[in-house]
């Protein structure tokens, strides 16, 4: 897959853009918030959060797309990330491109995840030419599953899987998989 511009997307309320050094501190604060990290294996230290931001930037450099930093028009310069990424693990549905999101808690409940992810899906299908995009989470992450459903992704229980990066018996190991195919050309 060749790197494809643009590096930025705009929606009615959001600016999905490349990361800035000034995003690191608010990103670390998010990643240390138990509300934001309820369905993740652990809170992140500032060093771990910075390492994640660096991996996200490396993904952009390598592939030309990634998990964009989210700015809110007329509001917070950094509210979290929304975008597309290639999972680093192997599973029955990989290789694939995933749509994902993580927003600071003060920005939840305004439709931002859905609005940004809808633009990311369009970019994936129209600019990257992807045939399918997936998303996954733990079964009890109902807000995230609701975002997937609002975007038109669907789940087949036969696709449920154990996350290969988590050990057997880990309470977050079981995952549900959602998929969406590229819309037929109108």
Ligand X SMILES: CC(C)(COP(=O)(O)OP(=O)(O)OC[C@H]1O[C@@H](n2cnc3c(N)ncnc32)[C@H](O)[C@@H]1OP(=O)(O)O)[C@@H](O)C(=O)NCCC(=O)NCCS
Residue tagged 């670390």 (tokens): 28
Q: Under the criterion CB under 6 A, does residue 161 sit at the interface with ligand X?
A: no
**What is the smallest separation between the CB atom of 33 and ligand X, expressed in angstroms?**
9
Q: Under the criterion CB under 6 A, does residue 130 sit at the interface with ligand X?
A: no
The CA distance from 49 to 54, in Å, is: 9
With CB under 6 A, what is the number of residues at the site for ligand X? Answer: 19
The CA distance from 48 to 131, in Å, is: 33
* Close Cβ partners of 133 (under 8 Å, ≥ 6 residues apart): 84, 96, 97, 98, 99, 121, 124, 125, 153, 179, 180
Distance of alpha carbon 87 from its chain centroid, rounded?
A: 10
Would strands 154-155 and 9-10 be described as parallel, antiparallel, or unpaired?
Answer: unpaired
- Closer residue to ligand X, CB minimum distance, 4 or 72: 72
Q: Under the criterion CB under 6 A, does residue 113 sit at the interface with ligand X?
A: yes
Instruction: Single out the residue of 14, 67, 81, 102 in contact with ligand X (rule: CB under 6 A).
Output: 102
Q: Under the criterion CB under 6 A, does residue 146 sit at the interface with ligand X?
A: yes
Q: Under the criterion CB under 6 A, does residue 120 sit at the interface with ligand X?
A: no
17: nearest Cα among 85, 77, 75:
77
Instruction: Single out the residue of 41, 46, 143, 164 in contact with ligand X (rule: CB under 6 A).
Output: 143
Q: Under the criterion CB under 6 A, does residue 36 sit at the interface with ligand X?
A: yes
Q: Tokens at residue 57, please?
A: 């930037």
Instruction: Single out the residue of 19, 81, 112, 178 in contact with ligand X (rule: CB under 6 A).
Output: 112
**What is the smallest separation between the CB atom of 137 and ligand X, expressed in angstroms?**
3
Q: Tokens at residue 152, please?
A: 């038109």
Q: Under the criterion CB under 6 A, does residue 118 sit at the interface with ligand X?
A: no
The CA distance from 90 to 124, in Å, is: 21
- Closer residue to ligand X, CB minimum distance, 4 or 86: 86
**What is the smallest separation between the CB atom of 151 and ligand X, expressed in angstroms?**
9
Q: Under the criterion CB under 6 A, does residue 44 sit at the interface with ligand X?
A: no
Residues that bind ligand X (CB under 6 A): 36, 39, 101-103, 108-114, 137, 141-144, 146-147
């Amino acid at each position: 897959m060749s790197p494809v511009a643009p590096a930025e997307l705009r929606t009615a309320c959001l600016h999905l853009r490349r990361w800035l050094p000034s995003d690191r501190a608010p990103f670390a604060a998010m990643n240390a918030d138990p509300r934001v990290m309820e369905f993740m294996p652990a809170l992140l230290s500032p060093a771990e959060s910075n390492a994640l931001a660096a991996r996200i930037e490396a993904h952009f450099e390598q592939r030309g797309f990634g998990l964009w930093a989210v700015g809110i028009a007329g509001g917070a310069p950094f509210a979290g990330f929304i975008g597309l990424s290639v999972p680093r693990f192997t599973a029955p549905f990989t290789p694939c491109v995933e749509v994902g999101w993580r927003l600071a808690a003060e920005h939840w409940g305004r439709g931002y995840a859905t609005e940004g992810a809808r633009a990311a899906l369009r970019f994936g299908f129209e600019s990257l030419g992807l045939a399918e995009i997936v998303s996954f989470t733990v079964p009890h992450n109902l807000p995230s599953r609701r975002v997937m459903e609002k975007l038109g992704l669907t789940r087949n229980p036969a696709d449920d899987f154990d996350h290969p990066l988590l050990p057997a018996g880990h309470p977050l190991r079981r995952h549900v998989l959602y998929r969406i195919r590229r819309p037929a050309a109108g």
